[in-house]
Structure 1
Amino acid sequence: MPALAQHRLKVRYTGGLADDSVLPAYDGATSIDGITRAIHIATHAYMTGEVVSRATALRGASLLIKPARQGSFIFEIIAMIEANPATTGVAAALGSAPFYDFLKVALRRATGWLDAEPETKHLKKLYDRKQPPALMKPPADLDALAETLEGSLQDAHRPIGPEGTIGKIEIGSPRRKLLTFDTETKDWVNTREEAENITVYQGNVTRYNALSRNGRAFIDQLDKVVPIRPDGDFPAGDLAHLTWSLHGSNIGARSKLLLRARTVTSAGGKVKRLLLADCARAPAD
């Protein structure tokens, strides 16, 4: 039998009906399914380095669920993890800290905390590398994973009000809270629209994954870093501009781009990501 590590996640619903240890049947069941599905997809990414859109069969791991307990409405998810996940390798395979850190970053980015970064030493080192170590698969693209998780997290947030019957949902390890779902995160995961018109932004690329083509850029007009992704009509020849801008950012040189993009916004009107139509080097000041 392979070595197994057991990681426990406590999910607590509070406010409204949850304070009486009950949930509305349909919305509550949908929420529990959404949370479980999101953790399943994130665990798959942790174990394999692959981002999938469905809760496909886990490799090297399994998830169990324990029944609800009194005290608000609480249930537990237990992740049984084998050694050698793609995200950590042998050294940190069975430790709980990297797994909880990975879940926290993935779920926080998916709910609007775009600046969430790994905190454990091993994950920070892994994601700071320009290339993965020899014979090791690249780790999962966290921005691609965050985008993929949005559908599951829409279901997870279903009972949260003002029109809902639950105040918030907290997810944590046995020792500490990892993140909270509330009305603000519900607005974020419920994307309002993808703009039809093109907006021209100026900024510089701060991160770019040549395999997934997902990246990040500091956008001058927004004064923050946002996820970016070449859209289907993006010219292949413009990919070189993205890598040029990233290289300039890494060495502290001016590497501004003009980014023509369709804007994806949340239900609350916040910019979630930019879908790039094309880009060009910005003229010097």
Structure 2
Amino acid sequence: MPVLAEHRLKVKYEGGLADQNALPGYDGATSIDGITRAVHIVLHAYMTGEVISRATALKNASVLIKPARQGSFIFELLVLIEAYPATTGIGAALGAPMLYDFIKTAFKRATGSLDAEPETTSLRKLYERKEPPPLKRPPVDFDELSEVLEGSLQDAHRPIGVDGTVGKISIGSPRHELVVFNDNTKDWVNTREEGVGLEVVRGNITRYNSLSRNSRVFVDQFGRVVPMRPDADFSVGDLSLLTWSLHGSNIGAPNKLDMRVRRVSSASGRVKRLLLSDCQRAPID
């Protein structure tokens, strides 16, 4: 029998009907399913280094649901990880701090905290490396993972703000709160339709993932960093411009690009990411 490392996630619903130790049948079941699917997708990424869009069968790990307890509406997810799984880009780490940190970072990024970074030493060092370890996958792209989590997290937020049913949902380890879902995070995960029209923005690349081709770009017009990925019509020949701009950022002399993009916005209109159609070097003022 394989040795299993056991980790627990406490999921707590608070406010409204949840304070009576109950949830509305349909919205509550949809939310529990959404959270479980999201944990499943994150755990798969943690174990394999691969980002998937559906909660397919896990290898060397499993997720179980424990019964609800009194005190608001509380249930537990029991995460079982087989000891000594295949070595991946994020390591065969069974320790609870690294797993909880990975889950926290993934969920925070996916619910609007775009600057969330790993805090545990081992995970932080992995993401600070310029190149992946030999013979291993590069670290999971949290921006890519955030995007595929949106559907599950939309379901997870289903009962929040519905006729006072639930005020917030917290997910945590037995000792620490990892992330809170509320009206603001619900707004974030419920994406508007992608912008139809193209617009030109100017900025510089601050991070680039050569595997997923996702990047981070500081947009002058927005005054902040925004995730960006190539759109379907983007020419791979322009990828060298992204790395050219990144190189400038790394040496403290940002190389600006003029980029034609489409916005993807939250329900309230805040820009979540950009879809890049094409780009060119910006003229030097």
TM-score, normalized by the shorter chain, greater than 0.5: yes
CA contact (8 A) 1:158 1:164 kept: no
Displacement of 1:162 in angstroms is 5.0
Alignment of 1:120-199 (within 5 A): 120-163=120-163, 165-199=165-199
- Classify the secondary structure of the residue corresponding to 2:193: strand
| AA partner of residue 101 (structure 2) | D
Displacement of 1:47 in angstroms is 0.3
Q: Tell me whether 2-11 or 55-64 shows the greater mean CA deviation.
A: 2-11
- Classify the secondary structure of the residue corresponding to 2:145: helix
**In the alignment, what sits opposite 1:6?**
6
| AA partner of residue 160 (structure 1) | I
State how many pairs are aligned.
Answer: 283
- Classify the secondary structure of the residue corresponding to 2:249: helix
* Change beyond 3 A, Cα 1:211–1:88: closer
List per-residue Cα deviations over 1:148-201 (Å, max 9, x = no partner). Answer: 000000000000015451100000001110010001100100001210111111
Q: Percent identity?
A: 67
The whole-number CA distance in structure 2 between the counterparts of 1:256 and 1:59 is: 43
**In the alignment, what sits opposite 1:16?**
16
List per-residue Cα deviations over 1:253-275 (Å, max 9, x = no partner). Answer: 23111111000000011000000
**In the alignment, what sits opposite 1:229?**
229
List per-residue Cα deviations over 1:121-142 (Å, max 9, x = no partner). Answer: 1111111112211122222111
**In the alignment, what sits opposite 1:88?**
90
**In the alignment, what sits opposite 1:35?**
35
Provide TM-score, normalisation by structure 1: 0.97
Alignment of 1:245-264 (within 5 A): 245-264=245-264
The whole-number CA distance in structure 1 between the counterparts of 2:158 and 2:147 is: 18
The whole-number CA distance in structure 2 between the counterparts of 1:88 and 1:270 is: 32
- Classify the secondary structure of the residue corresponding to 1:10: strand
- Classify the secondary structure of the residue corresponding to 1:81: strand
| AA partner of residue 249 (structure 1) | S
**In the alignment, what sits opposite 1:114?**
114
| AA partner of residue 52 (structure 1) | I
- Classify the secondary structure of the residue corresponding to 1:6: strand
The whole-number CA distance in structure 2 between the counterparts of 1:125 and 1:158 is: 36
Provide TM-score, normalisation by structure 2: 0.97
The whole-number CA distance in structure 1 between the counterparts of 2:90 and 2:197 is: 41
List per-residue Cα deviations over 1:203-230 (Å, max 9, x = no partner). Answer: 1111111111111111111111110001
CA contact (8 A) 1:218 1:226 kept: yes
CA contact (8 A) 1:257 1:280 kept: yes
**In the alignment, what sits opposite 1:98?**
98
| AA partner of residue 135 (structure 2) | L
Q: Tell me whether 143-152 or 158-167 shows the greater mean CA deviation.
A: 158-167
Unmatched segments (≥5 aa) in structure 2 = none
**In the alignment, what sits opposite 1:57?**
57
The whole-number CA distance in structure 2 between the counterparts of 1:193 and 1:266 is: 9
Displacement of 1:87 in angstroms is 4.7
CA contact (8 A) 2:201 2:259 kept: yes
| AA partner of residue 186 (structure 2) | K
The whole-number CA distance in structure 1 between the counterparts of 2:164 and 2:59 is: 36
The whole-number CA distance in structure 1 between the counterparts of 2:61 and 2:143 is: 23
Q: Please tell me the root mean square deviation across aligned C-alpha atoms, in Å.
A: 1.1
Displacement of 1:31 in angstroms is 0.2
| AA partner of residue 283 (structure 1) | P
